[in-house]
Amino acid sequence: MWSAVRRRTGDVQHLRRLLCSKDKLSQTRDGRENDGKLLANLAARIRLSGPVTVAQYMKEVLTCPRSGYYTAAEASVGAAGDFVTSPEISQMFGECWGVWVTNEWLKVGGPKNPLQLVELGPGRGTLLDDILRTMTRLLPDVGGVSVHLVEVGDSMRRQQRERICSDENSPSGSPQRSKSGSFPVHWYRHLNEVPRGFSFFLAHEFFDALPVHQFVRNKESGGWSEILIDLDPTHSEPKLRFIRSRDRTPATSLISSDDMREVVEISPDASMLVRSICDRIVFEGGAALVADYGGENLDKDTFRAFKNHLPWDPLISPGSADLTADVDFAALKAACPREAMCYGPIDQATFLRRLGIDRRKDMLVKQCQTEDVRNNIESSYNMLINEMGSRFQFLSIFPATMRPIHERFPPAGFQ
């Protein structure tokens, strides 16, 4: 049923060193240094129409065509990039997702209904590759699956194609096919381009890249100021700095009047995306599995940047570092309409354990030929469960009509 041991990004000790060194600001600059075009464009925009919101800044810096972090960068995910994600640490992570998808699909009729597997922000394609391999091992003759990747960056798309698709050239005009299962694979820039139909939506470390507005409570007046990004007038060269808005900004209306927090981050894009996903799974059927770092009703500034695996000043050399903010899972749940229902968030360690990661690790360890590979599996397990296990949260969404089925067979991992 399971596949053999697969070597991942290599040396997990190396990854651990990278992950653990987040306490000092990176001073290093690398070959992927942004050429300053983004900063010049931002400076021109600010001179013309005033300071920008954190959300406008994130959107521009991460996804603006050609010079955005995800649209221009050669490699950002993985040991050679700026940050390492769980699928890159061990095959066990994606295999658990594969078990989850198969299990939930079988509950609603499984291979009798065609399934669209839709992944938002697939990075290097590793998670999906592990999911497809696991699904085709669990259901060897499965057909009727199609793969739909929502990805903004061309270089990311290339990496995804290399990882997921078979080497055989598809006849011109026909879609690429996956190595596992030979399913057709399609790419899109936005979710709204994905054809409608019964779908499972998957998102790992995608929502944290969506723009957030940031607000702080004004101690004297009790009202809200929005955090904005402006040019520092004490520098002749363009240099960015944070300021607080003097008055209410249009986005302030997003804060609920009974919110008692001191710092609030709100992502309208994240809420809109959840609503679109719900709309689809309510009308066409399916489910969603979202995992990211964050929590519920966060009360702090979580907007930050990473470069070469180290924290980086988010206003320096925009476009050369990843920008991110913690995901507010309470806001995602609040965005779900009555016709949809959510389970979670639950922490990563609980989810993976309930999906059988301990047994899987023991099996892989038994197959190991060398001490080195065995240590690698133990370390990656430790990283997924102990070091990242409580920071990352999992949320699943289903149509509310599934309630009677879930009362007897709750969603895997969530109960």
Q: Which residues bind ligand SAH (CB under 6 A)?
A: 62-63, 70, 77, 85, 87-88, 121-123, 127, 150-153, 156, 204-206, 209
CB of 181 to ligand SAH, least distance (A): 20
CB of 388 to ligand SAH, least distance (A): 12
2: left (phi over 0), alpha (psi -120 to 50) or beta: beta
Shortest Cβ distance from residue 153 to ligand SAH (Å)?
A: 4
Q: Which residue in the block uniquely carries the two structure tokens 């700095």?
A: 241
C-alpha to C-alpha distance for 110 and 87, rounded to whole angstroms: 25
Local structure of 302: helix, strand or coil: coil
Compute the distance between CA of residue 14 and CA of residue 327 in angstroms, rounded to an integer: 27
Residue 346: closest CA among 277, 285, 399, 294: 294
- Of the pair 118, 341, the CB lying nearest ligand SAH is at 118
Residue 181 region by backbone torsions, left for phi larger than 0, else alpha for psi between -120 and 50, else beta:
left
- Given the complex with ligand SAH, which of 142 and 212 has the nearer CB atom? 212
Question: Nearer to ligand SAH by C-beta: 189 or 235?
Answer: 189
Q: 303, 108, 93, 86: which is closest to 216 by C-alpha?
A: 303
Residue (88 or 129) nearer to ligand SAH, CB:
88
Query: What CA–CA distance (Å, rounded) separates 128 from 136?
Result: 12
Minimum CB distance to ligand SAH smaller for 323 or for 402 = 323
How many other C-beta atoms are found inside a 10 Å radius of the C-beta of residue 338?
Answer: 8
Instruction: Quote the least distance from Cβ 191 to ligand SAH, whole Å.
Output: 8
Closest to ligand SAH by CB, 153 vs 399, is 153
Phi first, then psi: give them for residue 169, nearest 5 degrees.
Answer: -70, 130
Smallest separation (angstroms) from ligand SAH to the CB of 204:
4
CB of 134 to ligand SAH, least distance (A): 16
For 347, the 3-state DSSP assignment is: strand
Strand partners, 240: 231
Q: Are 136 and 142 in contact (CB under 8 A)?
A: yes
Task: Tell me whether residue 205 or residue 265 sits nearer to ligand SAH (CB atom).
Answer: 205
Closest approach of Cβ 15 to ligand SAH, in Å?
13
How many angstroms separate the first and last alpha carbons of the chain? Answer: 24
In terms of CB distance, is 115 or 152 closer to ligand SAH?
152
Minimum distance from residue 305 beta carbon to ligand SAH (Å): 14
Helices (H) and strands (E) in the chain, counts: 14, 17
Contacting residues for 82 by C-beta, under 8 A, at least 6 apart: 76, 306, 307, 308, 309, 321, 322
